[in-house]
């Protein structure tokens, strides 16, 4: 693990890298579940168990989560809460402690189809040609269906608007070459054909795609520019977080370049260019050096900010929030158009919610 000063010229700034599919999502995708033969997703499906000795005194929601593949514990808990589980014919709550030998009957909740369901959701199209589309993704939109987010996704909006998209990524990810976190806004490229998808994917794999992000951080950065190099792996205790983990089996090398573009007391505006494409990379690396992105629930410990909070004060009564999601925006994307062979740069302007924070910081001087 190392963090070294970076003094290279602008021409040699590190380029973004992603795997063939860059994993930047903060939601884990759940596997699909097959219902019993001949059953449709609208029919009631039940599973019956005899509680084994190994599950004695185990909570029923935990036992069912382990026994029913493809469901999160929250989904199981909600199903049990809605009178979906019976022990020896008696409806029980999610906290019920099982006893070995009891008979359990569970009404399995339906899962959505693997196919993307088109939805009429407006899209901000930055660029489009016969082979690709570049979208300015809004914060709060999940890229493809995932745990707890089966509708309102970017893929649903794309499926409604475009007749043909690549299917390299499978039925739930039509056109998706790379991804952004749900609450990260900005430019994302979509492939219309498989040939374009494969070409773009290779550019990500070969670190030929250049991405630039804009972020607002809490905490003073002692250097105007720097290269952060620290391996990232799964957090040891929190399944939805990543962490700096040197030498752990889940860890992968990660490099992030940043450059300060504005200082405002304990807040900093930064331009960020990830060299690798690890899950939550920018968020983890900035938090690692003591400058977490503001309103980042996972890594900054807060999810909203107000004018008073920018002043270092407690939130005023009935004060409106300036920002309610992580202040991270994919500002520009540079790649070679697979069909024309020309290098192209696409840009998404700073969104209104982040601009409100910038304006308040600038007013403070």
Q: Are strands 255-264 and 242-244 parallel, antiparallel or unpaired?
A: unpaired
Q: Yes or no: say if 233 and 250 are a contact pair by the CB < 8 Å rule.
A: yes
Report CA Rg, the chain.
Answer: 23
Beta bridge partners, 47, equal 106
CA distances from 187 to 59, 218, 231, 317, 350 (A): 44, 24, 26, 36, 11
SS3 125: strand
| Residue 16 falls in the annotated catalytic set | no
Measured CA to CA, the distance from residue 321 to residue 326 in angstroms comes to 13
Measured CA to CA, the distance from residue 191 to residue 176 in angstroms comes to 7
Measured CA to CA, the distance from residue 309 to residue 298 in angstroms comes to 18
| 352: CB partners within 8 A, 6+ apart | none
If you count them, how many residues does the chain have?
A: 365
In the chain, helix, strand, coil percent, each to 5?
20, 30, 55
Measured CA to CA, the distance from residue 186 to residue 178 in angstroms comes to 13
SS3 62: helix
Closest CA to 204 of 335, 17, 14, 13: 17
Side-chain half-sphere exposure of 250, counting CA atoms within 13 A: 12
Phi and psi at residue 155, in whole multiples of 5°?
Answer: -65, -35
Task: Considering the candidates 26, 181, 226, 296, report the single residue annotated as catalytic.
Answer: 181
Which spans in 224-333 are helix H? 281-288, 307-310
Active site amino acids = 181
């Amino acid at each position: 693990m190392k963090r070294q000063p970076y003094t290279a010229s602008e021409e040699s700034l590190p380029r973004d890298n992603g795997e063939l599919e860059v994993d930047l999502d903060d939601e884990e995708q759940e596997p699909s579940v097959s219902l019993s033969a001949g059953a449709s997703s609208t029919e009631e499906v039940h599973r019956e168990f005899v509680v084994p000795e190994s599950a004695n005194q185990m909570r029923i929601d935990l036992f069912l989560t382990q026994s029913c593949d493809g469901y999160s514990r929250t989904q199981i808990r909600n199903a049990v809460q809605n009178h979906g589980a019976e022990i020896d014919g008696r409806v029980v709550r999610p906290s019920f402690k099982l006893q070995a030998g009891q008979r359990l009957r569970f009404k399995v909740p339906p899962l959505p189809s693997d196919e993307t369901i088109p939805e009429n959701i407006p899209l901000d199209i930055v660029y489009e040609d016969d082979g690709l589309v570049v979208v300015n993704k809004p914060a709060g939109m999940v890229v493809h269906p995932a745990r707890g987010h089966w509708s309102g996704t970017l893929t649903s909006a794309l499926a409604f608007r475009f007749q043909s998209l690549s299917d390299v990524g499978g039925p739930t990810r039509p056109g998706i070459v790379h991804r952004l976190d749900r609450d990260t806004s900005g430019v994302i490229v979509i492939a219309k054909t498989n040939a374009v998808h494969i070409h773009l994917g290779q550019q990500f794999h070969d670190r030929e795609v250049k991405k630039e992000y804009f972020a607002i951080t809490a905490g003073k950065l002692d250097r105007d520019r720097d290269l952060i190099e620290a391996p990232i792996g799964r957090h040891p205790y929190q399944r939805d977080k990543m962490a700096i983990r040197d030498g752990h089996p889940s860890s992968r090398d990660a490099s992030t370049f940043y450059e300060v573009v504005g200082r405002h007391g304990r807040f900093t505006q930064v331009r960020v260019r990830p060299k690798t494409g690890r899950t939550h990379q920018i968020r983890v690396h900035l938090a690692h050096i003591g400058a977490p992105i503001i309103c980042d629930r996972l890594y900054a410990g807060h999810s909203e900010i107000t004018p008073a909070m920018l002043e270092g004060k407690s939130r005023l009564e009935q004060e409106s929030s300036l920002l309610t999601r992580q202040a991270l925006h994919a500002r520009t994307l540079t790649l070679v158009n697979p069909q024309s062979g020309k290098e192209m740069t696409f840009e998404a302007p700073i969104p209104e919610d982040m601009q409100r924070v910038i304006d308040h910081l600038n007013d403070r001087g």
